[in-house]
Structure 1
Amino acid sequence: MKKFYVASSFKNIDKVRYVSNELISKGYIQTYDWTQNERASTVEELKEIGQQERNAVLEADFIIVLLPAGKGSHIEFGIALGQGKRIYLYSPNDEINKFETTSTFYHLSEIEKCIGPMDELITAVTK
């Protein structure tokens, strides 16, 4: 079965858990659940989490990035892009396509943009 990783910010933790649980219920395998972590309080903890997250992205067949996302998520996005992995980029609104808030990398052919209700993201990933 396909392996996945979900990248986002701590403020989207409930959405990350929702997407992960939906995919797991459909037989997909999550490579790492960072939502189980507490916020790091030392550089050593940051290093350990960074290694786990990097390894999870490398192990995944595809990643999902839920916007708004922080700098770590964008680094994970870059790792996946560099590895030629499928990337699903999700936003509840059209910020992905607004010139003021978009990134050049959001528009590459390897990126599947999903805008709107989260269940449409689940449908796109599992089709």
Structure 2
Amino acid sequence: MNFYIASSFKNIDNVRYISEQLKAAGHNQTYDWTKHDRAASFDELKEIGQKEKEAVMKSDVVIVLLPAGKGSHIELGIALGLNKRIILHSPRGEVNDFSETSTFYHLAEVEKFLADKDELVNFILEKNPAPN
């Protein structure tokens, strides 16, 4: 399975943890934005944006970890437009907080997951066993 994880820099440790667990099970991360610092120029923004867009396009599943940043919501939109499988991880239940939620979080195509990161990894691996 090819996967991409969208989130914010606030969640960088969780993104790294989940991606390492999935890669250890034999899955492929299409792009790891956590290996880079924040962009310092418009050219860097453009380059990163292109890589992230391509990563979403190559993914079988897009995992969005809340709290998510501006770019994550654009990646969510790309994934929705491409009919990708989307898992929205809301460990603190913010997806169900009317003042924090988004209309797009509640579309039928978005699988909402409200548990800790280890349960999320187990959920993903149950539905996507390691490749042979």
TM-score (norm 2): 0.93
Q: Secondary structure at the match of 2:31?
A: coil
- 1:11 aligns with 10
Given the alignment of the two structures, is residue 45 of structure 1 paired with residue 44 of structure 2, yes or no?
A: yes
Letter in 1 for 2:57: L
Q: CA RMSD in A?
A: 0.7
- The answer for unaligned runs of 5 or more in structure 1 is none
% same residue: 60
Q: Which position in structure 2 is the counterpart of 1:107?
A: 106
Q: Which amino acid aligns with 1:50?
A: G
Distance 2:37 2:100 in 1: 29
Higher relative contact order (CA 8 A, sep 6+): 2
The C-alpha deviation readout for 1:61-89, integer Å capped at 9, x for no partner, is 01100000111000000000100001010
Match of 2:70 in 1: 71
Segment of structure 1 superposing worse, 49-58 or 99-108: 99-108
Match of 1:29 in 2: 28
Structure-1-length-normalised TM-score: 0.96
Rounded Cα–Cα distance in structure 2 between residues aligned with 1:82 and 1:37: 27
Find the counterpart in structure 1 of residue 89 from structure 2: 90
CA positional deviation for 1:104: 1.1
CA deviation string 1:15-70 (max 9, x = no partner): 00000000001111000000011111110000000000000000000110000011
- Mapped to 1, the partners of 2:28 and 2:21 lie a distance apart of 11
2:14 partner amino acid: K
Spell out, residue by residue over 1:76-122, the C-alpha distance to the aligned partner (whole angstroms, 9 max, x if none): 00000100001010011111011111111111111111112111111
Shift of 1:5: 0.2
Match of 1:121 in 2: 120
Structure 2 gap ranges (5+): 127-132
Paired residue total? 126
CA distance in 2 between partners of 1:110 and 1:58 (Å): 16
